[in-house]
Structure 1
Amino acid sequence: MASRTLSIGIVGLGTVGTGVIRLIEENAMLIARRSGQTISIGAITARDRNKDRGVDLRGYRWVDDMLEMADDPELDIIVELIGGSDGPALTLAKKALTNGKSLVTANKAMIAHHGLELAELAETNGAALHYEAAVAGGIPAIKGVREGTAANRIERIYGILNGTSNYILSTMETSGRDFDDVLAEAQALGYAEADPSFDIDGVDAAHKLSILASLAFASRLDFDAVATEGIRAIQAADIAQADALGYRIRLLGLAERHDGDKASELFQRVHPYLVPKSHPLANVDGSTNAVVAEGNFSGRLLFQGAGAGDGPTASAVVADIIAIARGELSPAFAMPVKALEPCAPAESGHRIGRAYLRFQVADKPGVLAEITAALRDADVSIESLIQKERSPNDAVLVAMVTHECAESQVNATLDALAGSSSLLGEPMVIHILGDE
């Protein structure tokens, strides 16, 4: 049995915080054997002391001011679970690390925006910064990329990084229902927030992608460079057409590094993709997350599992605590912050691939000729085309898949059609995975 004790302070007692308490209580002896130390909960705090959280907290010391934990000499690790990129969470994190206390967090927004600053504080003050739970819940994606692929040059990293969006898309797929209907159901079931913007607009996935990209490519974090588009515009018709063509639609975060003659560039994008049914990500359903890393020696590695929830996320948090108990104080981003390379954002226009284009058009002569003329002028050729019958609002759906071309050519096509009276609403462009 472990003879030493490591004391932690837990800030935030939502589903994850209470999950951490239950996990430590239930698996205390196993955790002690694996970490070499007894893990003790030395203090807890949250916004409302009297809230019923379904777990008995009477045996734990309550601290009214969470910032006192950062100064408490009896606490070795601060576990931050309140969220938010700035504000109290960031203040607590900075103070704890400045005081030499290690920090464990599930806060992907804070890491995406301030991770380098926090990592430098950890390095300067001999503390650890661990954030496994910030990306893909209970999947050891951070550890897998940072340590499992350490000897590889990563060619690209990508994956399904938001469970809410994936639940909506896969439910649309199986039910044939439209986006708004499935979103409302997801909110009623608790899979989506009352304000789901961060999830369905791709922001949550962009936070996670920027973190993974920094780890994979030894580059400085650059969340602002992530081109982000969500799934609001996806229609049931798009899901059906993708299926007929041999694809499934998934919201993916994708990053690639390009090393040029003069400087390195980093491409980062969150976007709906058509994923071939033969690809492992096409079969990731529901709220599951999955991360794919492609190494030059390892080949394709797939990390898949629950992306959220009290159990999986608490598991990742406690795994970080165990790592610190074992003395793992390695740099937060696999190497010292000063060694991370700044990479300029890579433009998307030169990227070659195929794309799915969907237009809602007026039911009148000459419309298809107008679209094909714009494609011709941009030197884009069509691999396949589907025209559906008129809908009740007199709109006709025209969907097509292009042959390989530069993304700038697709953009030129849409620019030529902008303002056309034949188009009813904005066209939809979905890139096809595998043709990057």
Structure 2
Amino acid sequence: MTETPALHALWPAPLADGTVHATVTVPGSKSVTNRALVLAALAAEPGWVRRPLRSRDSRLMADALRALGVGIEETASSSSGDGSGGEAWRIIPAALHGPATVDVGNAGTVMRFLPPVATLAAGDIRFDGDPRSYERPLGQVISALRTLGARIDDDGRGALPLTVQGGGALEGGVVEIDASNSSQFVSALLLSGPRFNQGVEVRHVGTALPSMPHIRMTVEMLRAAGAQVDTPEAGGEPNVWRVSPSALLGRDMVVEPDLSNAQPFLAAALITGGTVTIPDWPRRTTQPGDELRRIFTEMGGSCELTDAGLVFTGSGKIHGIDVDLSEVGELTPGIAAVAALADSPSTLRGVAHLRLHETDRLAALTAEINGLGGEVTETADGLHIRPRPLHGGVFHTYDDHRMATAGAVIGLAVGGVEIENVATTAKTLPDFPRMWADMLSGAGA
């Protein structure tokens, strides 16, 4: 499957020569795009996904669904009557079938959301991916699917690579799962649940769930597709989600901008005391990235939602923060980068699960910021950051897109920072170097 080159060219992170003033149009949400693709593929009728993210992760999801027999037609532009315009994908459901091989790359949504889908296919579906994908947690999804009636051959690893022996249907029912390492375990079962004969009842039995906003996103999107979902928030049992068996509707969905991917651009305004506008920022959303408004304001900025989008302005000062990031763990690398430049220490808590992401993000952030002269200490569930004068050097990314953007953020204020493998940002943010250069040149301001 996909191999990662041993050596990567170094990208000199641009140093800001003044305040940043720019309008940055952020591509669509990966989390929304990949959930929308799965739901559309399982629907009883064709549907549309408009303004999808075109990145490595979404391409892997689309290619995987095509391998299972789903039709995905990409158009350069379309109109849904809501003024959305832009690129659109028409999804044409079909009887899922194998044999097929799915390359998950290092995409958590693909490696976790698609094995449940594969149980509904007729034939064997093999899953493989990047070397790092073999190390990422998947055992809870595998064991849950077996409890629900699936046949899966993983040679006892509880991880990739594996083969789902699809029977064309899955009985479903009640299953207990420890999703304390990833909320994606719950979302994976819920997304395919309407197509299981008995639906699915997922009971989380572990410690606190991380990234709850992503489960709420899954639930809202299921309901929008016509599924009946009972949740703890709706008066149900704590840590229990039920999806009834039903046909899913083919919907016309417009994907929101990826708010988490807006983070480095908002950080640029905070660090330089400038202003960055992100068009189409939703007034209501389940995306965890919306918390950036609160967190970066507490760290020294101010923001306003306007007809032009979110307008964020830095004050020229960066304050340390003590914050629980358990629901928004994906924001940790960018927050750590800003905290390393603050005027007081920061403590980032509730993110022990980041040790199991694209890389061990806590160890990686500690090593790379300290390598530039910082003082970062790992805690049991996060990081403690004491700002120190930083210097240039190589910032390694570990094939992790959020490490790359975190390094770029530090490079705005520290000369001589070189990012190893900045191309890894293509996982969710295509053409990041160009977007970064355009921002610094004031494009769209």
**TM-score greater than 0.5 by the shorter chain:** no
- Which structure is larger by alpha-carbon Rg, 1 or 2? 1
Question: Structure 2-normalised TM-score?
Answer: 0.28
